[in-house]
Each structure stands twice: as C-alpha cells, then as structure tokens.
Amino acid sequence: QVQLVESGGGLVQAGDSLRLSCAASGRTFSQYKVAWFRQAPGNEREFVAASSRSGSRTYYADSVKERFTISRDNAKNTVYLQMNNLKPEDTAVYYCAAQGVIGSYYSEYEYPYWGQGTQVTVSS
C-alpha cells in the first residue's frame, strides 16, 4: 500500500509556472505507476499525465502536451508535475495517483491510491 501527499499548488497568473510534488510513503514506490489527474468545479476528474515505474515512459493529455512535464525520483519517493505557460483553464484541484497493476494509464478507475489534492488557480 502507498500513501500520497501533494504539495506545491497556489494562485498564479496566466503564463506563469508551478511545480507540483507528490511524496509517497513506503519502500516500494518504484513498483507503482503514477499519474496526475485534475478536477475543475462542475467537471469530472480528468487525466493529466502519467509515468511508468522507471519514468522512462510518460503520457500526457493533449491539453497539456508541450506545457507540462511529469517526472519522478524513486530514490526520494516523489513524483513531480512541472507546469509551464499556465492557462486559466488549468485551474483545478490536482491529484496524484498510483497503481501497482497492469492497467490503463489514462483511467482513474485503475488507480486505487490517491492523494488529498492540491489547488491550482490561474488568473487571467
């Protein structure tokens, strides 16, 4: 089992950057695939980015490609989401998630472990 704690959210202006962090407990973090999802008010939770166990493969939603980068440091049990050129439509609560089975990277239902979320607000 793994516990996840996100940090790094905040209020920024359009065009700014933020880096979110997700710290994981447990000594087997490298065995988990990880992802970031987000949920804006009134919207369903949506996939943002995911990383394979080693970090060698990454996946992105079309809306964030070329602007967001997911990375992980297994030695530090931490996954990051670097967000550049932020837009007002990126405003949402961002969640870190982990799964340890063979499943879709893109579906939230494949991820049994979730953090509490961190708010990102982008003003225009």
pLDDT given for residue 15 in this prediction: 98
Residue whose tokens read 């939230």 = 108
Task: For residues 59-65, give the mean pLDDT.
Answer: 97
Q: In whole angstroms, what is the distance from residue 51 CA to residue 90 CA?
A: 20
Q: In whole angstroms, what is the distance from residue 108 CA to residue 111 CA?
A: 6
Asked whether the beta carbons of 20 and 77 are under 8 A apart, the reply is no
| DSSP code for 44 | -
Task: For residues 59-72, give the mean pLDDT.
Answer: 97
Average pLDDT over all residues of the chain: 95
Give the HSE-up count for residue 70: Cα atoms under 13 Å, Cβ half-sphere: 28
Each residue's pLDDT tens digit, 13-48: 999 999 999 999 977 889 999 999 999 999 999 999
Given a cut of 80, is residue 101 above it in pLDDT? no
Tokens of 101: 């089975």
